[in-house]
Structure 1
């Protein structure tokens, strides 16, 4: 069993030069706990913290420069994603989710987001369609500049906006919860060469179908997009 005594990544806060710039469309409040969860998840997915590593709360808190309270919450969240295995009265262990489990989660995510996109084509207001076009245009700009960090932030905003645009609060709730479990894997896929441009092109098919009011095509395009994300993640994981 590994321990956390070896070299680990720096504290969760990135140096100012690497921190993504907040744009008006993409801006949102990122809590310290969420930031910590993303950083630890990223370090696990990248293999910086290998499977079998014991996550001692005090040591994790010290390494990332936080208190124990957010560490405890983050470990619970990562367990839901299959990245951490919790054990009663013992330290949690870094785990590696099975391919079958991941594929099952992506299959569910694809259907949920397809439903959201299809309902957007029917229910989005004129103002919401304008906002969707604005987010999509900004993603195009980030794609042209190869800005992976800001694209990743705005990509989350794009998908969340579609959940709201479906105008079904319960659907939005369960879709967000499912995405939270898959988020570490969805983020990792952007490290594949050329993935930003492909992601934007897939988004464009979804957006155009929504703007046309084509429910079936919007759902089909979104389903295909999410399943492509799964393949992109698996390709990334093979190289880690």
Structure 2
């Protein structure tokens, strides 16, 4: 049964993701001022959900909220993103290593269920649905590490990178590759192989080689798409 809160939560999520996409694709380029009134009219909502979305975007590092001046899109370059992914890769590797040593039987069931949800999303052919299932998969690993501080740091950086991780899934064949990598991660964690779990997670998150080129091409294509829309 769907509660009144669920549709509201989904609308808020859809609004936030729409703004995230507009920023990442360059529809709102770096330095742009995001006016609450204008955005409220565009999305046909009150200023309250717009304000809440902008606060979340600030937490994610996509915008700067300056008192008495407004909200402005931050300039996040490719080099900075790669640095963030490098740190994320090591944080996730640590979570995987500890999870392989500490995961409980209930958490094993949760991890397998999360992996199954990713499989179902992949079969549905919806990259965004896969992304949301993927978030739960990674959150389950963070929890299974039984290190609260590490989980907090991983979640914080995950929040900052989520729009780019979602965009990365639009690279051709990336979802199917990601799912295969998930299978290796699940096997390593549930078998207690801490070294393999850490390495599989590190490689799963790290952008390098051909994946780096694909990622840059994807982001660049979306930025060009934003330029075309503005012109």
TM-score for the superposition, normalised by structure 2 = 0.82
Larger relative contact order (CA 8 Å, sep ≥ 6): 2
Which deviates further from its counterpart, 197-206 or 229-238? 229-238
TM-score for the superposition, normalised by structure 1 = 0.79
Match of 2:159 in 1: 180
Matches within 5 A, 1:215-234: 215-228=194-207, 231=212, 232-234=214-216
Shift of 1:191: 1.2
Q: 1:63 to 1:97 in 2, by over 3 A?
A: same
Shift of 1:67: 2.8
SS in 1 for 2:118: helix
Matches within 5 A, 1:5-20: none
What is the number of equivalent residue pairs in this alignment?
214
Match of 2:129 in 1: 150
Match of 1:84 in 2: 63
The Cα offsets for residues 115-157 of structure 1, whole Å up to 9 and x where unpaired, read as 1111111111122212212221232233234232321210111
Alignment gaps of 5+ in structure 1: 1-21
The Cα offsets for residues 144-198 of structure 1, whole Å up to 9 and x where unpaired, read as 3423232121011111111111112222122111111111111111111111101
Q: Are residue 236 (structure 1) and residue 218 (structure 2) matched?
A: yes
Q: Which has the higher helix share?
A: 2
8 A Cα contact 1:82 1:96, kept in partner: no
Q: Distance in 1 between matches of 2:110 and 2:126?
A: 21
Q: 1:141 to 1:45 in 2, by over 3 A?
A: same
Moved over 3 A (4+): 29-35, 79-82, 85-88
Which deviates further from its counterpart, 203-212 or 125-134? 125-134
Shift of 1:219: 0.7
